[in-house]
Chains A and B, each alone.
Chain A
Amino acid sequence: DAGVTQSPTHLIKTRGQQVTLRCSPKSGHDTVSWYQQALGQGPQFIFQYYEEEERQRGNFPDRFSGHQFPNYSSELNVNALLLGDSALYLCASSLAVGQGPREQYFGPGTRLTVT
């Protein structure tokens, strides 16, 4: 049973650049959520995708955008990178509300460093 996978593992970018992170959900899951985890803190919710649409969003600027594909995989895009965007980006997958247990399974994360 394939778990949640993310790529790349590590990424180094320069301020002002753009970055794309990728996530494949756990087999059987159709909902993908993205979280940002700054060093020494708990993860913060960025947004969630279901049926290829952004279903809800946390308190993040429009520089953060995403996409979900028909196979349920997802991308997180960040434009105009700032030093403060340096963090671990976690993807979590789950079943849609009403379709199963309310629990989210996480991938290994992508460590983004902005210089």
Chain B
Amino acid sequence: AQTVTQSQPEMSVQEAETVTLSCTYDTSESNYYLFWYKQPPSRQMILVIRQEAYKQQNATENRFSVNFQKAAKSFSLKISDSQLGDTAMYFCAFLFESTDKLIFGTGTRLQVFP
């Protein structure tokens, strides 16, 4: 089965601090892509960061970075210098080259407080 597990239903962090959201997945495929999406209360699903499974280098986008451990099938998201606008649901997802459909986890609700 191809599944994504986010074991932290809720997390909180103080503004300007760093937080890490966890994600593990299960697949026997070798060619796939991993994503973190953010969904604020406005409901718009926003792409935060993308990682190609064939790349060893971890992706970085400004304050967002990932720790991709392919052998362990782990894909965590680190948010540095947290801002109030980072408050949202965060979904981990992966996509296979062969099927081109996203498979999502259940999400982690992140609250950033002043």
Determine whether B106 belongs to the interface, using a CB cutoff of 8 Å to chain A: yes
Chain B positions 17 through 58: 1 when the CB is less than 8 Å from some CB of chain A, otherwise 0: 000000000000000010101000011111100101000000
Q: Is B104 a contact of A94 with CB atoms below 8 Å? A: no
Band of interface residues on A: 20 to 34
Determine whether A88 belongs to the interface, using a CB cutoff of 8 Å to chain B: yes
Q: Is A58 a contact of B95 with CB atoms below 8 Å? A: no
For the complex formed, measure the closest distance between the CB of B12 and the CB atoms of chain A, giving whole angstroms: 18
Determine whether B102 belongs to the interface, using a CB cutoff of 8 Å to chain A: yes
- State which residues 22-62 of A face B: CB under 8 Å: 31, 33, 35, 41-45, 48, 55-56, 58
- State which residues 86-104 of A face B: CB under 8 Å: 88, 90, 92, 94, 97, 101-104
Band of interface residues on B: 20 to 34
For the complex formed, measure the closest distance between the CB of B95 and the CB atoms of chain A, giving whole angstroms: 6
**With contacts defined as CB atoms under 8 Å apart, how many contacts are there between chain A and chain B in the complex?**
63
For the complex formed, measure the closest distance between the CB of A7 and the CB atoms of chain B, giving whole angstroms: 14
Q: Is A104 a contact of B50 with CB atoms below 8 Å? A: no
Q: Is A102 a contact of B95 with CB atoms below 8 Å? A: yes
Q: How far is the CA of A103 from the CA of B100 in the complex (A)?
A: 9
Q: Is B42 a contact of A103 with CB atoms below 8 Å? A: no
Q: Is B107 a contact of A42 with CB atoms below 8 Å? A: yes
Q: Is A42 a contact of B104 with CB atoms below 8 Å? A: yes
Q: How far is the CA of A90 from the CA of B42 in the complex (A)?
A: 13
Q: Is A56 a contact of B101 with CB atoms below 8 Å? A: yes
- Which residues of B are in contact with A by a Cβ distance under 8 Å? 4, 33, 35, 37, 42-47, 50, 52, 91, 93, 95, 97, 99-107
9 smallest beta-carbon distances between A and B, as pairs: A42-B104, A106-B45, A45-B101, A102-B33, A108-B44, A109-B43, A43-B104, A42-B106, A42-B91
